[in-house]
Amino acid sequence: MSLTLRTTSTRDALVAEVRERILSGELRPGEALTEAGLASAFGVARPTVRSALQVLVSRHLVRSSGGRSLTVPVLTEADVRDLFFVRTPLELLAVREIVENGLPLDAAERSLAAMEALPDTAAWGDRVEAHTAFHTALVDAAGSPRLSRIYPAVQEEMQLCLAQLHRWYPGPQDLAASHRALLEDIRSGDVDRACAAVRAHLDLALGRLTT
């Protein structure tokens, strides 16, 4: 039993480490990920690497490129547009539910405060995590367990998208300011205003990421 728990813990640690390297851009789009290479780099057994890679594939952070070859995904413009095609209605649904029922936004406020507290020197990966935490908290505020199960998979790919295309994304203060304005529109209690703000926010992001 102890051996099983230790192996699972090592697997999870490896998943977290490879994920961080992908989202930070250290592992580049298209870069091959091999069992032998990762086992050597991290000093773990190949079955542990194989299990970790399976998790990363299931989270769309690693992609099969034919045969047994695995690579960091290269997102095309079509991929990005499809991502927003799925993401936008989910966030609109959540915001409509929040505004119509006056649901609390405490967790979203805390996530936004953490984003605002990031220094200008914050690593891009930290900014992406703060961005994800805010949007996830916003969706969770709708109170739908199933929506909260579906949405993280979308945000996982969204993080990959931001990792690859962040040259078009605003600086730390602009990022926080735009999300503060969005939260204020949602707090307005006006459903049309809130939904229009969400759509404009996501349309702007899509435009930047497909320029």
Task: Give residue 96's pLDDT band: very low, low, confident or very high (50, 70, 90).
Answer: very high
Q: What is the CATH number of domain 2-71?
A: 1.10.10.10
Determine contact, residues 158/80, Cβ cutoff 8 Å.
Answer: no
Higher pLDDT, 2 or 103: 103
Kindly report the pTM of this predicted structure.
0.82
Q: Give per-residue pLDDT as tens, 27-44.
A: 888 899 999 999 999 999
> What are the tens digits of pLDDT across the range 132-149?
999 999 999 999 999 999
Give the 3-state secondary structure of residue 88: helix
pLDDT at 6: 53
What does the block give as tokens for 91?
Answer: 């966030």
pLDDT for residue 11: 92
User: Mean pLDDT, to the nearest integer, of 9-18?
Assistant: 91
The whole-angstrom separation of Cα 87 and Cα 154 is: 7
pLDDT of 125 reads: 77
* pLDDT confidence of residue 2: 44
Domain boundaries in the chain?
A: 2-71, 77-209
Furthest C-alpha separation in the chain: 56
- Describe the crossing of helices 106-116 and 172-187 by its angle, rounded to 10 degrees: 160
Residue 104: predicted pLDDT: 97
* Distance of alpha carbon 202 from alpha carbon 205, whole angstroms: 5
Residue 170 pLDDT greater than 70, yes or no: no
Share of the chain above pLDDT 70, in %: 91
Q: Decide: 163 and 24 in contact? Cβ < 8 Å.
A: yes
62 vs 98: CA distance, rounded Å: 34
Q: How many alpha carbons lie under 13 Å from residue 38 in its C-beta half-sphere? A: 26
Per-residue pLDDT band for 5 (boundaries 50, 70, 90) equals: very low
SS3 state at 207: helix
Mean pLDDT value across the chain: 89
Record: fold of 77-209: Four Helix Bundle (Hemerythrin (Met), subunit A) (1.20.120)
Nearest C-alpha neighbor of 179 from the set 161, 209, 202, 152: 202
